Amino acid sequence: MSSNQESVFPEYETDTSQTSKLLRKFKETPFVPIGMAGFAVVVGYGLYRLKHRGDKKMSLHLIHMRVAAQGFVVGALTCGVLYSMFREHVMKPKD
């Protein structure tokens, strides 16, 4: 093999830093990181409120926290899918 072969994927080899990969993914699918951030916020708030739950059982508190976190993630992903469908089918110029 010769050493002067061109790369098959030159755009992926130039962006090798983790920050640039993360920014590229965020631009391609912005609702996935939003869902992950919302999940982290809900879990953080739930852990904070775990100490002040009163006489509520821990299992019930954890179930409510899980449902809220899952609901946020599913809602963010649903918004992302609806946005991409809108962008591709409604905003798409006529061919």
- Rounded Cα distance between 24 and 90, Å, is 24
Q: Do residues 28 and 65 lie in contact, with contact meaning Cβ atoms separated by under 8 Å? A: no
Tokens encoding 3: 């050493």
On whether residue 67 sits in a domain, the answer given is yes
Range of the domain at 33: 14-91
On whether residue 53 sits in a domain, the answer given is yes
Q: Would you write out the chain's pLDDT as a tens digit for each of its 95 residues?
A: 455 566 566 555 554 688 887 788 778 778 888 888 888 998 898 888 888 877 888 888 889 889 998 998 899 889 988 988 888 888 876 66
Query: How many domains does the chain fold into?
Result: 1
pTM value?
A: 0.62
The predicted pLDDT at position 15 comes to: 46
Give the DSSP H/E element, type plus range, for residue 43: helix 31-50
